[in-house]
Amino acid sequence: MKGVILHGGAGTRLRPLTHTGPKQLIPVANKPISQYVLEDLIEAGIKNVAIILGDIYPEKVKEYYGDGSRFGVNITYIYQPKPAGIAHAVGLSKNFVGESPFVVYLGDNILKGGIKDFVQEFESSDADTMMLLCEVKNPERFGVAKFEDRRLVGACGEA
């Protein structure tokens, strides 16, 4: 199992905090948000991680995480030359992932309880994919997933 952390995005809604660095490096409880993401992957047993970098201070991300050795993982950096969406970013990781199953984790998300149980559930299932969604009060602000017979068939909203 491999991990892919999406570390792009301009973070315009978080200005002025993002004038000097990427939103994923904003500290929460003295730790960058994306470090919680990396720690969740590590807890789930994932040791090979790619970080997809955008054009918002990618050097600061590389400076903070380095090769991953201080976290006990191997980190590969992949550049997304322009903002082109999540699917494009995931597509850029194709050579890194190869034939391995993988987890895509948004670098600005913190999931209560981590992902270890979800990774174990996925690995013990015969599913091709698993997606974690969160119920919110105003889903139109984020995008509404549309399902038919437990299959994701589309989405609508601002996301």
* Same-domain check for residues 104 and 39: yes
Question: What CATH number does residue 74 fall under?
Answer: 3.90.550.10
* Same-domain check for residues 84 and 145: no
Cα–Cα distance, 25 to 107 (Å, whole number): 9
* Same-domain check for residues 88 and 152: no
pLDDT, average across residues 37-46: 97
With cut-offs at 50, 70 and 90, classify the pLDDT of residue 16. low
* Same-domain check for residues 89 and 123: yes
* Same-domain check for residues 122 and 133: no
Domain extent, residue 20, equals 2-128
The total number of structural domains that make up the chain:
2
* Same-domain check for residues 89 and 124: yes
Average pLDDT, the chain: 88
* Same-domain check for residues 124 and 140: no
pLDDT, average across residues 12-20: 60
* Same-domain check for residues 113 and 155: no
* Same-domain check for residues 28 and 65: yes
For the chain, the 3-state helix, strand and coil shares in percent, each to the nearest 5, are: 35, 25, 45
Q: Cα dihedral sign for 102, 6, 74, 70?
A: negative
* Same-domain check for residues 92 and 148: no
* Same-domain check for residues 142 and 97: no
pTM assigned to the model: 0.87
pLDDT in tens, 49-89: 999 998 888 899 999 999 999 999 999 999 998 888 888 99
